[in-house]
């Protein structure tokens, strides 16, 4: 499973990228606001740092305006994935932009029917939101499984990008289900290394080593 980092924090991306943990980046208007930077400036910097797709989101609501914004965003760098919402107008924009050879990430997906439409419209990525479904007592991971089954049934090439990831369990379960990509905040990705038994074992090893009175260097 590929890891995308869900942030516009350049320093956080750089840290993970140095460890080979970054296959791409996703941003949205909320993350751009949090960064406090100009969308073109910060997106260009991220694209130069990361080899994989960098999602930049349109903010228009009508198809023609989405298409115009998407074309503008695509000029920032060759690895831009244009992010459009899963609305009827978003699907129209997806069809045009993907037809022009651009990567398109269709976001805010909350049902298998929506994911099927996005694949038919030529989406490069579909972004089902796990955490937001969990928030309303629906199973976000079940949606990932449903989309995986549908896409495999018909050979759709659209990649399933598990989004709104809130926990390390979301990451492992999305991988087990067969999500192509998971996008998560840096904190979640770094937390995947944590386990209480690792900490306990390390503490025991270090105490025993201290008793030997030896040094490696």
Say how far apart CA 135 and CA 208 lie, in whole Å: 45
As a whole number of Å, the CA-based R_g of the chain is: 20
Active site (annotated) includes residue 83: yes
Say how far apart CA 143 and CA 129 lie, in whole Å: 9
> Residues 97, 130: contact at Cβ < 8 Å?
no
Say how far apart CA 46 and CA 148 lie, in whole Å: 29
Say how far apart CA 108 and CA 83 lie, in whole Å: 10
Q: Per the residue annotation, which of 2, 34, 83, 200 is the catalytic one?
A: 83
End-to-end CA distance of the chain: 38
> Residues 70, 84: contact at Cβ < 8 Å?
yes
The two structure tokens encoding residue 161: 């990008």
> Residues 147, 123: contact at Cβ < 8 Å?
no
Please identify every residue annotated as catalytic: 83
């Amino acid at each position: 499973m590929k890891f995308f980092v869900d942030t516009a924090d350049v320093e956080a991306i750089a840290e993970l990228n140095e460890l080979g943990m970054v296959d791409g980046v996703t941003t949205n208007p909320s993350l751009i606001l949090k960064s406090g930077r100009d969308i073109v400036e910060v997106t260009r910097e991220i694209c130069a740092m990361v080899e994989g797709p960098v999602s930049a989101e349109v903010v228009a609501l009508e198809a023609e305006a989405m298409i115009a914004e998407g074309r503008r965003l695509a000029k920032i760098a060759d690895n831009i994935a244009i992010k459009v919402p899963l609305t009827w107008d978003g699907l129209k924009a997806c069809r045009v932009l993907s037809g022009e050879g651009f990567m398109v990430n269709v976001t805010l997906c909350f049902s298998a029917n929506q994911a099927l439409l996005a694949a038919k419209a030529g989406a490069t990525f579909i972004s089902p939101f796990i955490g937001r479904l969990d928030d309303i007592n629906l199973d976000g991971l079940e949606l990932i499984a449903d989309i995986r089954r549908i896409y495999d049934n018909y050979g759709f090439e659209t990649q399933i990008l598990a989004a709104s990831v809130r926990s390390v369990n979301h990451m492992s379960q999305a991988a087990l289900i067969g999500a192509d990509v998971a996008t998560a905040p840096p904190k979640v990705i770094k937390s995947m290394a944590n386990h209480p038994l690792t900490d306990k074992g390390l503490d025991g090893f270090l105490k025993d080593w201290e008793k030997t009175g030896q040094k490696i260097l």
